[in-house]
Amino acid sequence: MLSAAHAAVYATAAAGGALAPLGAPAQPARSLARAAHDDHRALRDTLVAALRAHGTTPPAALPAYRLPVEPAGVEGSVDLLSRVEDQSAASACAAVSALTGADRELAVDALVAMALRGQRARLAAGLAPEAAAPAFPGR
pLDDT, tens only, 9-58? 999 999 999 999 999 999 999 999 999 999 999 999 999 999 999 999 99
In a domain, 79, yes or no: yes
Integer Cα distance of 94 and 53 in angstroms: 21
Instruction: Identify which of 11, 102, 94 has the alpha carbon closest to the alpha carbon of residue 49.
Output: 102
pLDDT per residue over 51-105, tens digit each? 999 999 999 999 999 999 999 999 999 999 999 999 999 999 999 999 999 999 9
Specify the pLDDT at position 138.
46
Question: pLDDT tier at 128 (50, 70, 90 boundaries)?
Answer: confident
- Name the pLDDT band for 132 (thresholds 50, 70, 90): low
Check whether 129 has a pLDDT greater than 80: no
CATH of the domain at 98: 1.20.1260.10
138 in a structural domain: no
The DSSP output letter for 70 is: -
pLDDT score for 139: 47
More confidently predicted of 133 and 42: 42
Closest CA to 7 of 79, 87, 73: 87
Count of structural domains within the chain = 1
Instruction: Answer yes or no: is 7 within a domain.
Output: yes
Task: Quote the domain boundaries for residue 41.
Answer: 2-131
Q: Which amino acid is at 14?
A: A
| Residue 139 within any structural domain of the chain | no
